[in-house]
C-alpha cells in the first residue's frame, strides 16, 4: 500500500466515523481491521435462520448519526431506516410490578403513578433538572473536543456552575432526592450502566442519560443495529477510504516521538502522516505502542485505571413467541446495591443480577423464523480481574447461564425447552475479539467525580501524530459518543496535517 495521510487501526464505529470524515476532506485513508467483519463491539451473528446483534441493541441520539452522514454530504435516511420504539422499555420487578416506559411525559407519569403517586408527580422536576445539566454540559463535554484551548474557550464563554451540574452527589443520591419508591429509584439509577458505571459511585451529572433517552427517544434500525456498522463502512468507502479486514496491526511505528504509521501482523509496513487507533486506548498502549515510546500510560498507570463494567451475553433462538415481552425488557434484582458491590467492589458476577432482554423480532420479522423469537440477554458483569482472567469465564459461563435462566423462570419466563440456537459471549470474549481492555464494554468507568476530565484525550499527549477515537477516549462509550469521537479525531487530524 502506498503511503497514507491517515492509517486507522480498527473498524469499530469510531474508526469508521473518522475514516469517512477524513476521506471526505480529501485525505488518503487506510483502515486496518483484524476481524473479518467491520463494526467491532457492534457485531452480528446469523445462525439457524436467526439474526442477532451481539453488542448494542438500542440506538439513542440518532441526530448524531444523521450529522455524521451529513458531514459526508449524504442523508442518513438513504442508508438506514430508523424507527422510535414504544414502549422504550418494559420493566419487571420481583414483586410482580411492571411499567412500560414512554418518552411521552403524561404516559410515563401514568405508569409511574401505578408504582408511587408522589414519584409520578416528581418526575417532571427530575427531567427538568437532568435537562438543565445536559444544556450546561453537552456542548463542551459531549460535542466539544476537550482539548485544553477549546476547553478554556468554552469555559470563558459559559463558566460551569458546579452546583447546577450536580457532580458532588452520586447518581443514586440525586435520584433518591426526587423519588421515594425503591423501584422508581432502581429504574432511574439504571442509567448509570449506559456507560458501564455504578449509580452508587458515578456523579449525578450522569442524570443527562435518562434525559437523553426520554427526550430524544430510543430507536431501532430495520434489519438490526448492525446495519449501522455496515452503512458506516459503505459511507467510508464511498468517501474514498480503503478498509482492509482480516488485517491485524502489530505495532504503531514511532520514530523520535512521532507516529509514522503501522506495522501489520504479516510484516508489511504502512507509512502514514497520522495514525489513529480505534482500539481501546489502554489496550493500544499495552499492545501496540512500543514500550520505549510510552509516557502517558505505562504499566504502572494502566494498573490504576478503572475500566467500565463488562457484560455477559446469551443469544437464544427460541421456537415460539413470548407474548409478555416487549422489544426491550428489564428484570430487576431485589438488591441493586448488592449487585453493584459484587460487580465493582468484589469484581465477581452478581448472583442476583438485573437481566436485560432484547427481542428485535418483536419489531422486525426479518430477525427470526416465523413464530420464533431472537432473544438477546445481557447482564452487567465485572471487568476482568486477575481472578476472572484466563479461562475462568470459559469454565463458569454454563453455570452463570443456568443461573440467569433460573432467575427468568422466577419471573414466569421459561423457554428452555424451546431453545433451538444458543451462544454465549463472555467478558473474556470481548477482550479477545475486539481488544476491549479487561473486557470493558464502554472503555473507562465514570465512577470518579472528574471522570470526564480524566478520560484519555483524542490527541495523544506523549506521541506526536497519534490519535485515539472510540469508547475509551473522549467523549466516552456508546454508539453516538464514539461516532462523535471519530468526527472530532478527523477534525484534529485535518488541522494538524494542514498546518505542518
Ligand atoms: C454487549 C454490548 C452491549 C452494548 N449495548 C450498547 C447499546 O445498547 N447502545 C450503545 O450505544 N452502545 C452499546 N454498547 C457499546 C458500544 O458497542 C461501543 O461503545 C462502541 O461500539 C465501541 O466502538 P469503538 O469505536 O470504541 O470501537 P470498538 O468496538 O472497540 O472496535 C475496535 C476495533 O478495533 C479492532 N482491533 C483491535 N485490535 C486490533 C489490531 N491490533 N489490529 C486491527 N484491528 C484491531 C477490533 O477488532 C474492533 O473491530 C454495547 C457494547 C456491548 C459489548
Mutate to test the pocket of ligand 1, among 279, 330, 375 (most ligand atoms within 8 A of CB): 279
Task: Tell me which fold the domain 4-42+58-79+224-304+450-498 belongs to.
Answer: FAD/NAD(P)-binding domain (3.50.50)
Take atom 19 of ligand 1 and give the residue whose Cα is closest: 478
Average pLDDT over residues 436-451: 88
State yes or no: pLDDT of 500 exceeds 70: no
Take atom 5 of ligand 1 and give the residue whose Cα is closest: 56
Contacts 24+ apart (CB under 8 A), 173-176: 173/204, 174/129, 174/204, 174/207, 175/126, 175/199, 175/204, 175/207
Domain boundaries, the chain: 4-42+58-79+224-304+450-498, 106-217, 309-437
- Measure 42 CA to ligand 1 centroid, in angstroms: 6
Q: Which three cell numbers stand for residue 487?
A: 468526527
Instruction: Give the residues surrounding ligand 1 with Cβ less than 6 Å away.
Output: 9-15, 32-35, 40-42, 55-58, 248-249, 278-280, 311, 313, 378, 430, 434-435, 441-442, 470-471, 477-479, 482
Report the nearest atom of ligand 1 relative to the CA of 472: 26
CA 173/CA 372 separation, integer angstroms: 42
State yes or no: pLDDT of 362 exceeds 80: yes
Between 151-155, 198-202, 286-290, the lowest mean confidence (pLDDT) is in 151-155
Q: What DSSP designation does 366 have?
A: G
- Measure 475 CA to ligand 1 centroid, in angstroms: 14
Take atom 22 of ligand 1 and give the residue whose Cα is closest: 471
Take atom 41 of ligand 1 and give the residue whose Cα is closest: 249
Say whether 456 sits in a helix, a strand or coil.
Answer: coil
Concatenated DSSP letters of 70-130: HHTT--GGGT--EEE-SSSEEEE-TTS-EEEE-SSHHHHHHHHHHH-HHHHHHHHHHHHHH
Alpha carbon distances (Å) from 379 to 42, 340, 343, 370, 401: 17, 12, 11, 27, 10
CA 222/CA 310 separation, integer angstroms: 27
State yes or no: pLDDT of 418 exceeds 60: yes
Report the nearest atom of ligand 1 relative to the CA of 39: 49
pLDDT of residue 299: 67
pLDDT of residue 148: 85
Q: Which three cell numbers stand for residue 389?
A: 482472567
- Measure 13 CA to ligand 1 centroid, in angstroms: 7
Average pLDDT over residues 394-410: 98
Between 34-43, 79-88, 153-162, 456-465, the lowest mean confidence (pLDDT) is in 153-162
- Measure 431 CA to ligand 1 centroid, in angstroms: 10
State yes or no: pLDDT of 303 exceeds 80: no
- Measure 15 CA to ligand 1 centroid, in angstroms: 10
- Measure 291 CA to ligand 1 centroid, in angstroms: 24
Q: What is the mean pLDDT of the chain?
A: 95
More confident residue, 295 or 111: 111
Residues 81-127: tens digit of each pLDDT: 999 999 999 999 999 999 999 999 999 999 999 999 999 999 999 99
Amino acid at each position: 500500500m502506498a503511503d497514507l495521510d491517515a492509517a486507522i487501526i480498527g473498524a469499530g464505529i469510531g474508526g469508521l466515523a473518522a475514516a469517512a470524515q477524513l476521506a471526505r476532506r480529501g485525505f488518503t485513508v487506510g483502515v486496518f481491521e483484524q476481524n473479518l467483519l467491520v463494526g467491532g463491539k457492534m457485531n452480528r451473528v446469523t445462525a439457524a435462520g436467526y439474526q442477532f446483534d451481539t453488542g448494542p441493541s438500542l440506538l439513542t441520539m440518532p441526530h448524531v448519526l444523521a450529522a455524521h452522514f451529513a458531514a459526508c454530504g449524504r442523508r442518513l435516511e438513504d442508508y438506514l431506516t430508523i424507527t422510535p420504539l414504544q414502549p422504550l422499555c418494559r420493566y419487571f420487578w420481583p414483586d410482580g410490578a411492571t411499567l412500560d416506559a414512554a418518552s411521552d411525559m403524561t404516559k410515563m407519569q401514568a405508569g409511574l403513578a401505578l408504582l408511587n403517586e408522589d414519584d409520578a408527580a416528581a418526575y417532571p422536576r427530575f427531567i427538568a433538572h437532568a435537562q438543565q445539566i445536559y444544556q450546561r454540559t453537552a456542548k463542551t463535554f459531549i460535542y466539544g473536543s476537550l482539548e485544553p484551548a477549546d476547553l478554556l474557550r468554552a469555559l470563558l464563554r459559559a463558566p460551569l456552575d458546579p452546583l447546577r451540574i450536580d457532580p458532588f452527589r452520586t447518581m443514586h443520591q440525586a435520584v433518591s432526592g426526587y423519588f421515594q419508591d425503591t423501584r422508581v429509584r432502581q429504574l432511574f439509577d439504571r442509567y448509570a450502566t449506559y456507560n458501564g458505571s455504578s449509580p452508587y459511585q458515578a456523579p449525578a451529572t450522569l442524570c443527562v442519560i435518562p434525559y437523553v433517552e426520554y427526550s430524544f427517544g430510543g430507536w431501532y434500525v430495520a434489519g438490526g443495529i448492525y446495519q449501522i456498522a455496515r452503512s458506516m463502512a459503505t459511507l467510508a468507502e464511498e468517501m474514498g477510504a480503503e478498509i482492509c479486514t482480516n488485517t491485524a496491526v502489530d505495532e504503531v511505528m514511532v520514530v523520535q516521538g512521532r507516529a509514522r504509521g503501522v506495522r501489520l501482523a504479516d510484516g508489511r509496513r504502512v507509512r502514514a502522516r497520522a495514525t489513529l487507533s480505534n482500539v481501546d486506548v489502554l489496550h493500544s498502549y499495552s499492545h501496540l505502542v512500543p514500550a520505549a515510546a510510552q509516557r502517558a500510560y505505562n504499566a504502572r498507570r494502566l494498573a490504576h485505571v478503572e475500566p467500565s463494567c463488562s457484560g455477559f451475553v446469551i443469544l437464544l433462538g427460541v421456537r415460539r413467541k413470548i407474548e409478555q415481552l416487549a422489544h426491550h425488557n428489564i428484570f430487576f434484582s431485589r438488591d441493586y446495591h448488592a449487585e453493584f458491590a459484587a460487580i465493582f467492589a468484589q469484581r465477581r458476577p452478581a448472583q442476583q443480577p438485573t437481566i436485560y432482554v432484547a427481542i428485535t423480532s418483536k419489531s422486525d420479522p426479518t430477525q427470526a423464523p416465523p413464530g420464533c423469537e431472537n432473544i438477546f440477554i445481557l447482564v452487567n458483569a465485572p471487568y476482568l480481574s486477575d481472578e476472572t482472567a484466563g479461562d475462568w469465564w470459559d469454565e463458569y459461563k454454563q453455570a452463570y447461564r443456568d443461573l440467569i435462566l433460573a432467575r427468568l423462570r422466577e419471573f414466569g419466563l421459561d423457554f428452555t425447552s424451546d431453545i433451538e440456537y444458543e451462544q454465549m459471549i463472555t467478558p473474556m470474549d470481548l477482550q479477545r475479539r475486539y481488544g476491549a481492555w479487561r473486557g470493558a464494554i464502554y472503555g473507562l468507568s465514570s465512577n470518579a467525580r472528574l471522570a470526564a476530565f480524566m478520560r484519555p484525550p483524542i490527541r495523544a499527549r506523549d506521541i506526536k501524530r497519534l490519535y485515539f477515537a472510540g469508547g475509551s477516549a473522549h467523549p466516552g462509550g456508546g454508539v453516538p459518543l464514539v461516532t462523535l469521537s471519530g468526527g472530532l479525531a478527523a477534525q484534529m487530524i485535518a488541522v494538524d496535517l494542514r498546518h505542518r
